Amino acid sequence: MSIRVVLATRNAHKVIELRRILEEAGLDIELVGTDEYPDLPDVAETGSTFAANALLKAREVCEFTGLPAIADDSGLAVDALNGMPGIFSARWSGAHGNDRANLELVLGQLTDVAPNRRGGAFHCAAAIALPDGDARVVEGTVEGTIIDAPRGSNGFGYDPIFVPLGGNLTLAEIAPAEKDAMSHRGNAMRALVPVLKELLRP
C-alpha cells in the first residue's frame, strides 16, 4: 500500500514534477499538494538559509496533517551581489512573487558589472519531516551566468536571465523536460530520493 506524503506547495506543476521523479525511482508514494488541505495556513519563511526555510515548511505541514511532508526553498545567488537575492529571491523588489519586478531589479543592479563578473547559481534545499520528529534536508545547485536582457518564455522567475554553465540558452529557452533534468530543484528532489527510501521503507 502506498504511503501518502504531502508536498508543501499549492503549485500543481511542482507536484507533477516530483511525482515523475518518485515514479522513476520506483517509490510507491501517493504525493499530494497542500490544496488537499484548504485550512492549512501559509508558513512564514523566517529562516536565514534555504535549508532552514525548507525544514520549517516541512515540519509545519507535517504537524498540521499528521503525515510525512516534503518542502523546498530556492532562489538565485548572484556573485556580484554578495550572494543576493538569495532567500529573498521571491520578494527582492518588495512584493512577493512579482517575477518581472524582481528580475528587472537584479538587472538594474548589474548594469555596470562586466560579463566575466556576472556569475551566479540557483540553489534549492529540499526537506522531509516525519510525524515521529525525524527530519532531513538535501540541496541542489546549478551554476551559470546572468545575462543583460531576458530571453525565452518557458521559464519563470529569474529563468530568462540565467544561462547554465557550459550552455548558450537561458533556462527559459530550453524545453521543460531538459530543464527538469538539470535544474537546482530537480537536482535537490533527486537527492531526496535515497532519503525517502531510507525513511519511508515499510
CATH number at residue 82: 3.90.950.10
Residue 37: phi and psi, rounded to 5, are -130, 75
What is the mean pLDDT of the segment spanning 132-159? 93
Contact between 6 and 70 (Cβ < 8 Å)? yes
Round the average pLDDT of the chain to a whole number and report it: 92
Q: How many residues does the chain have?
A: 202
How many domains are contained in the chain? 1
Cell numbers for 94: 518588495
Residue 202 above 90 pLDDT?
no
Residue 201 above 80 pLDDT?
no
Q: Whole domain around residue 19: which residue ranges?
A: 3-199
Query: How buried is residue 162: exposed, middle or buried, by Cβ count under 10 Å (0-12/13-18/19+)?
Result: buried
Q: What is the 3 state secondary structure string of the chain?
A: CCEEEEECCCCHHHHHHHHHHHHHCCCCEEEEEHHHCCCCCCCCCCCCCHHHHHHHHHHHHHHHHCCCEEEEEEEEEEHHHCCCEHHHHHHCCCCCCCHHHHHHHHHHHCCCCCHHHCEEEEEEEEEEECCCCCEEEEEEEEEEEECCCCCCCCCCCCHHHEEECCCCCCCCCCCHHHHHHHCHHHHHHHHHHHHHHHHCCC
Please identify every residue annotated as catalytic: 73
Determine the Cα–Cα distance for residues 107 and 125; give it in Å rounded to an integer. Answer: 25
Cell numbers for 137: 534536508
What is the mean pLDDT of the segment spanning 14-40? 89
Angle at 115 between CA 109 and CA 121, to 5 degrees: 70
What is the mean pLDDT of the segment spanning 178-187? 87
Residue-wise pLDDT for 72-127, tens only, equals 999 999 999 999 999 999 899 997 778 899 999 999 999 999 989 999 999 999 99
Determine the Cα–Cα distance for residues 116 and 125; give it in Å rounded to an integer. Answer: 27
User: What is the value of pTM for the model shown?
Assistant: 0.90
Q: Which amino acid is at 6?
A: V
Q: How far is CA 135 from CA 8, 40, 87, 140, 197, in A?
A: 14, 20, 21, 17, 14
